[in-house]
Structure 1
Amino acid sequence: MKAFLGTGLLGSNFVKAMLKRGETVQVWNRTASKAQALEATGAKPFDLVADAVKGATIIHLTLKDDATVNEVLESASSGFSPGAILIDHTTTSAEGAIERTNYWKEKGFTYLHAPVFMGPPNALESTGNMLVSGDQELIAQVTPELEKMTGKLINLGPETGKAAGIKLIGNLFLISLTAGLSDVLALAKGLGIDSADVASLFSNWNPGAGVPARFDKIRAGDFSKPSWELNMARKDAGLMIEAAKVNGVNLTVLPAVAAQMDKYINEGHGSDDWSIIAKDNL
């Protein structure tokens, strides 16, 4: 028997998938109605978190942040069964994941951080990606449990907290991508170009396909053989910024990128590949 703490959009769909597999799941949520709503699908809701974990050998969590995870686990701990395994899918800091791993080990319980690149539909369909790192014997033990929940379980090795760090890096990319798309929509609006035309562009030309190669080029650190000179990229950025200004729309990301371009141009790198703007972070 298992327990699931945190039954928001992601957690509730994890629970529904578990129930479809015939598993017995006890659930708790700070907003009790969200846990109670799962009773109709076969879950056993509890008002008190310590009651929800009683008898559970595995306890899953999808909560808000480090502070919430710490608070909920402390409140639940009086109900922990001996040897219970705590599997936390919350996006947290790496430091928090390390501290909790050590803290609960000292108290005789096993904590594993397993953040996900999964939305609610993925949780229901057991698709997407789940990350783990840390004690490899423990990970081998719980792999059959975790593989049932996700399309791909990615083991990042023995370093505790690494999964948390990689999850933050992945989310940073998603946030940056969305902010960039916001700028794209703003410029399209200013130029009177329908967003459907932009969508058509991306359906024919997929810039995302070039991300691995571009990332490898940046990591190599050789910017002396440009495919797009920094001076030319900055010229184009200037055209975009000016077009947005003339048409009364605001760009969020591009002005900061242009400032970084100017820095490297002033340092004499105008003829280098434009990706040199990432050099300081290598």
Structure 2
Amino acid sequence: MKAFLGMGLLGSNFVKAMLRKGDAVQVWNRTASKAKALEKDGAKAFDDIVDAVKGAAIIHLTLKDDDSVNEILKAASTGFKPGVIIIDHTTTSVKGAVERTAEWKAKGFTYLHAPVFMGPANALESSGNMLVSGDQDLINSLTPQLSAMTGKLLNLGAEVGKASSIKLIGNLFLLTLTAGLSDTLALAKALNIAPADISALFESWNPGAGMPARFSRIAKGDFSKPSWELNMARKDAGLMMHIANEEGVKLNLIPAIAADMDSWIAKGHGADDWSVIAKDNL
């Protein structure tokens, strides 16, 4: 028997996928109607969180943040079966994941943080990526079950909290990627270029394809053989900001990047590869 707490878009689709695989799942949500809605799929919904976890050998969570995870686990704990395994898919702080691992172990229970790079569709289709780290014996024992929930289970090793770290790093990249696309659309608007034309460009030219090689180059820390000089990149950033300002369009990322470029140029790195702006973070 499994229990699942938190029936948002991700949690509810995880439950639907489990039910389709023949699992018995007890569900709870703060807004009870969201849990009740899954009864038509075969779940057993509970208004009382303690009742929802009774008899469950594994309890899954998809909640909002550290506070909600701590609150919900505390509220449910009187119904925990001895030796229950808690698997938390919530994106939380690293400190919180580490503290909960130790706290619940001291109480005789097992807590594993397993955040995901998965949207609701991935949860329903059992695709995407799930991250785990920590007790390797525990992870090995859970691998068949967790692998069934996702396209790829990424075991990041024995360091408790590393999965939390990698999840936050990945989410940061997604945030900056989307912000970059927003600036791209802003400049296109200023230049009277339709979004469809940008989409067509990316169908022919995929800038993401070069990301692994660029990151590897940055990580090596050698910026002396430029493919795009910092001076030239800064010139282009200036053109972008000038056009946007003329057309009354706001760029969010480019002005901050340009200021960073100016700092590195002032330190004598104008002829280096433009990615030298990442040097201090190595």
Q: Please say whether Structure 1 and Structure 2 have the same fold, judged by a TM-score greater than 0.5.
A: yes
The answer on 1:213 being equivalent to 2:213 is yes
User: What do residues 184-207 of structure 1 show as CA deviations (whole Å, max 9, x unaligned)?
Assistant: 000101110000000100010000
Aligned residue type for 1:228? W
CA-to-aligned-CA distance 1:241-269 (integer Å, 9 cap, x gap):
00100111000000000000000000000
* 3-state secondary structure, aligned to 2:60: strand
The residue number in structure 1 matching 2:138 is 138
After superposition, residues 1-282 of structure 1 pair within 5 angstroms as 1-282=1-282
Aligned-partner SS, 2:278: helix
Q: RMSD value over aligned CA atoms? A: 0.4
Any idea what the Cα deviations from partners look like across 1:154-180, whole Å, max 9, x if unmatched?
Answer: 000000000000000000000000000
Structure 2 CA distance for aligned equivalents of residues 50 and 208 of structure 1? 47
Gap regions ≥5 residues in structure 1: none
Deviation at 1:181, TM superposition (A): 0.2
TM-score (norm 1): 1.00
| Identical pairs, percent | 73
Letter in 1 for 2:214: R
Question: TM-score when scaled to structure 2?
Answer: 1.00
| CA positional deviation for 1:38 | 0.4
5+ long unaligned stretches in structure 2: none
Partners in 1 of 2:22 and 2:119 — Cα distance? 22
What secondary structure, in the 3-state scheme, does the structure 1 residue paired with 2:250 have? coil
1:251 aligned partner, one-letter code: L
Q: CA deviation at 1:48?
A: 1.1
Cα offsets for 1:119-141 (capped at 9, x unmatched): 00000000000000000000001
Alpha-carbon distance between aligned partners in 2 of 1:50 and 1:188, rounded to the nearest angstrom: 54
For residue 277 of structure 1, what is the amino acid of its counterpart?
Answer: I
Alpha-carbon distance in 2 for matches of 1:273, 1:187: 24
What letter matches 2:157 in structure 1? G
Report the Cα offset of residue 143 of structure 1: 0.6
- For these two proteins, the number of residue pairs brought into alignment is 282
Write the deviation string for residues 214-267 of structure 1: whole angstroms up to 9, x where unpaired. 000000000000000000000000000001001110000000000000000000
Equivalent position amino acid for 2:60 in 1: H
Residue 209 of structure 1 deviates from its aligned partner by 0.6
Runs of 4+ aligned structure 1 residues displaced above 3 Å come to: none
